[in-house]
Structure 1
Amino acid sequence: MKKWMVGGAVRDALLGRPVNDRDWVVVGASPVELLEAGYMPVGKDFPVFLHPETKEEVALARTERKTAPGYHGFTFHADPGVTLEEDLQRRDLTINAMAQDEDGRIVDPWGGRRDLADKLLRHVSPAFAEDPVRILRIARFAARFDDFSIASETQALMRHMVEIGEVDALVPERVWQELSRGLMEARPSRLFEVLRRCGALARLLPEVDRLWGVPQPPEHHPEVDTGVHLMLVLDMAAQLGASLEVRFACLGHDLGKGTTPVDELPRHIAHEARSVQLVQALAQRLKVPTDCRELAEAVAREHGNIHRSLQLDGSAVMRLFDRCDVWRRPARFSELLLACECDARGRTGFEDRPYPQRPRLQGALDAALAVDTAKVSSDALARGWKGTAIGSAIRHARYTAVSDYLAAQPSTGS
């Protein structure tokens, strides 16, 4: 029985990147032997165990055979006779198909080290085409390793997988899992570029795919194309270290522009309402978490108002706060403002421009939240006020705090 570290841990170590998770493969052993050695079984589809001390995953070397469409359609074979090379051959990319023993020796039967040096994402074998999740994975790796290219033969294989309908077998949960991870990579735009190039984006996220080729007013969007703008926005979100909720909101903020009637282009009247509807449908289809969906809805609805907020007075700002539910969820409003900044700076030539709307509105909210509502209530009660009258007193105190804050700010122009 021999144990090898495999996959991403070997790849990242060779790249000099931090190694956070280690996966191991055992060659020449049976499930009984691992159980007798104290390993704890996990998973139902194939023999995977947890190390009794480190709790790291250890799998028996295995092969697999395609038996049905989709990524669930496999049978696995694991026994002491399966070799390390056979196990590595079933993996997706050559850079993920290397192994390292406990003495540091690296086994690389499929050219992973060469492809690392060449900055190339290349599939190991034709079996790549049997698992549609690998399309999403390679797109995610392209977003992580943004200076790597995809081998032409791998690109052709991905297109073929889309054409024969393999990608249509992906379940929503798995699409969201890979999409959410890709959004959090260093350059998320590459994930969508890769999916679009092979045709998978139109099948998985048609609301996003249709944005390319849709024009916008050049005086506001020098990049003109709505799809290009979206990619700039997503990369700005990554540059600013935004959360997943903010990045998903950025993804959905302009979806309505893809449904603007041709005779109304390049203006996009009322695209915000259409964007909200499309965000809701997309989130429902992919089973997106509630926090992501709700922020995306708010950003889609309000981003235009926030961009124009330098002209808003205290009353208008209070109405904006009410619509955004800031009194119960002030932290979400801060994320909304960050998404709007990503949108504003995600334009050609605007990348380094300040976005004064964000600190102005955040400061106004902070001023409103600093109002001592307990004291306002107590004073109102002392005057004999009750019920809605107390609520009105609190609102007036907050309005006054917001108005005083805005009046004290330097003029920002338009």
Structure 2
Amino acid sequence: MLSKTSKSKIFILDTNVILHDHTCIYQFQDNDIILPITVLEELDKFKRGNDLINYQAREFVRVLDEIVGDELFNGGKSLGKGKGKLRIETGKPFSESLKTSFREDIPDHRILAIAEYMTQSYPKRKTILVSKDINLRMKAKSLGISAEDYKTDQVTDENVLSKTITTFDNFDDTLISTMYENGSVGVEEIKQEVRPEPNECFIFKGNNSSVLGRFDAASKRMQRVEKKSAYGIKPRNAEQTFSLNVLMDPTIQLVALTGKAGTGKTLLALAAAIEMHKSFDQILLARPIVALSNRDLGFLPGDASEKINPYMQPLFDNLSVIKHVFNPRSKEYLQIEELQKEEKLVITPLAYIRGRSLSNSFFIIDEAQNLTPHEIKTIITRAGEGTKMVFTGDLQQIDSPYLDMKSNGLAYMTDRMRNQDLFAHINLVKGERSYLAELASNLL
């Protein structure tokens, strides 16, 4: 028997919501939760494995066991004070409408049958199917069933992610001169209306000169940013100059670099890491493996290493760009070779990093837009003393079917970490790979 009055809602959870966040059942306030028996069946398939979805499945089953214990559900179990009840709903027969619309007996359609049954059984209460699967939500709505995305960890302000470098025109040339002479100016001296966030970057243009500045929250001053190269890689625009500045600042432990393909995100991060290699015990460059067309790695030929290499190749390409800035006999070129040989510079799939405690490391996570908020949290909480973490990604190129601009981990981290002194976010807009790459990125 479900609790509450007609004012409280009934939420029916899809499997992908649990695999996205194993604590999801506690995120619905005083509303009741229905867990279709089909979801438990599907979770069973995900319990084994080393990926985060396998961890989520195992953790949720443990949470469920703690709630129920040795007792029977008997109409539902309370989720705690101020929370609703949790109930497992067994399979329900397909209605004529369901049979006519969807002929296949698959898990999604069984969940729809339960959602339809609950909607009809509790007409005075709003029943909502919660799923990360857009297609399932569309199917539900076509049957007159309310459906929505799991919104707990979604970003509310999308402007945070697409924020570009602010430019002040007609800026006071005297203040620009002061920044060049003293290295900084107090924020209160800037006459324009500006309320900068920690490590926010600005371009100040006067009538006769210009200067780049980054806000230092500790001193409440606008620090001048110099154009510096990193291990032979020279910044080609202001965005790249700012990126190298925050990447090589030891006081900034967490950096997010966003931007479309060809803006230099990964290359700049790797160049900065190699430039600073003496300050760290190891440089780690990793990326999540998202198989094309949702096909498992098993379909690729070869052993484990050969299966993974195609996914890691873009990272090796960036390393190759840096190496070829130098003569193969130069000390810089040989230094990179030595770092790789001694495994002080490691390129690896992200799955191989999970579970490790990373101390005094420069850790670059590429393609971070394909990570969930929980995955991002899991990675950052592995950071030991002296570790710097850099997440790079293109928020327009999300390969996971259950993530979007608002719900991916890179966006979530950027939104939650803003205003922290140890965090910096640079959104790179201008492509520098080639004119052709820039044209294709803008037009295609």
Q: Give the TM-score normalised by the residue count of structure 1.
A: 0.26
Kindly indicate which of the two structures has a greater share of residues assigned to helix. Answer: 1
Kindly indicate which of the two structures has a greater share of residues assigned to strand. Answer: 2
Q: Give the TM-score normalised by the residue count of structure 2.
A: 0.25
